[in-house]
Amino acid sequence: MTRVGIIGGTGYTGGELARLLCTHPDVEIAAMTSRQNVGARVQDVHTYLRGYVDLEFTEKISDTKDLDFVFVATPHGVAMKEVPALMDQGIKAIDLSGDYRLKDVDVYQEWYGHEHTDLENLEKAEYGLPEFFRDKLKGADLVANPGCYATSIILACGPLLKAGVVDEEIIVDAKSGTSGAGMVPAVRTHHSTCGETIIPYSVGKHRHTPEIEMAVDRFAGSHTQVTFIPQLIPIVRGILSSCYFNLKKDLTQEEVDGIYEKQYGGETFVHHVQDPSIRAVVASNHAQTASKVIGKKVVSFGVLDNLVKGASGQAVQCMNLMLGLDEKTGLNVPGLGV
């Protein structure tokens, strides 16, 4: 049984990790930290975990002994302070923030606004998107969990770029539910602000932009230019990313669909469908892609639950691979559908 700790246990991703892990057959949740709720029972803060997680929040993960694995579910800048001690103790870890995603420290400082202080482990961290980098995740000690937008976009774009059938300039129109902004209240996510409207935000400066470019560059073989327009919509969970390309040559719909089937036909959690739907994947680790050829252009879609396949579910999938388990363990349930 693997003893697991969660740093940042009161946020949406920390709570979602606990929800997924509390019934995992090979895992015991041994610790959850929270600066605001030290000493409080987890089930009193996350009432949906009543009867499933019998723990009190601690201030530091070091207060718990004999951990085998730790998830760091904190804002950026925190993980790079926590991870070195975990690595020194031989504890495997997954960072759900952006601290270990970008290999170029200058790019990290430009987009996150501060210097990276753990260059040694940054070099070692693997990028946690199993459908493309599964072999590198098996047995890894440290994984950088991808961002939610980034996951939906890379899943949509990756097959076409790998096949070399589209230009390297991509326009992405992406829409996300309000849980993607985290638990701390803000003016933009206040219900009276976002409840009956669509709000573009961080256009040209969203921190997932360099992450998306870094990942898709690995498929394209050259630098990819991503124009990323994120938008907030009045739902709680879910992302729909629409990605627009120019085709390098004429392709039929059947040929484009075949590219996606080749990539995802054997995957458990990513499905190429005719009509993608957020409701089909909500509360699950499943994602959907779709593609539509329109003359000399093609639009590809990526759909997922931002808290599961876009965050905590993908982290559990990566954990399974890191521990040599079946990657479906604890995750193989369908979306809600309605």
Q: Are residues 186 and 99 in the same domain?
A: no
Residue 263 is part of which domain span? Answer: 149-306
Q: What is the pLDDT of residue 158?
A: 95
Q: What is the CATH number of the domain that holds 210?
A: 3.30.360.10
Burial 209-222, CB ≥16 within 10 A → b, else e: bbbbbbbbeebbee
Say what the pLDDT of residue 124 is.
96
Q: What is the mean pLDDT of residues 152-169?
A: 95
Q: Can you tell me the distance from the alpha carbon of 11 to that of 17, in angstroms, rounded to the nearest whole number?
A: 10
Burial of 97 (0-12, 13-18, 19+ CB in 10 A): buried
- How far is residue 189 from each of residues 32, 97, 169, 192, 202, measured CA to CA in Å? 27, 20, 31, 8, 14
Amino acid at 321: L
Is residue 294 located within the same domain as residue 168?
A: yes
SS3 content of the chain, % helix, strand, coil (to 5): 35, 20, 40
* Catalytic residue check, 148: yes
Q: What is the chain's mean pLDDT, rounded?
A: 95
Reading the block at residue 324, the tokens are 């040599």
What proportion of the chain, given as a percentage, has pLDDT over 70? 100
- Dihedral of the CA atoms 105, 107, 110, 116 (nearest 10)? -20
Whole-prediction pTM: 0.96
Task: Count CB atoms within 10 A of the CB of residue 294.
Answer: 10
Number of independent structural domains in the chain? 2
Which residue out of 148, 194, 243, 318 is catalytically annotated? 148
Quick one: 313 and 204 in the same domain? no
In a domain, 330, yes or no: no
Q: What is the pLDDT of residue 86?
A: 96
Of the candidates 327, 187, 337, which has an alpha carbon nearest to the alpha carbon of residue 277?
337
What is the rounded CA–CA span in Å between residue 159 and residue 47?
41
pLDDT at 186: 79
- Name the 3-class secondary structure at 300: strand
Is 337 within the bounds of a domain?
Answer: no
> Angle at CA 184, nearest 5°, toward 179 and 64?
95
Q: Encode pLDDT of 55-105 as tens digits.
A: 999 999 987 789 999 999 999 999 999 999 999 999 999 999 999 999 999
CATH of the domain at 76: 3.40.50.720
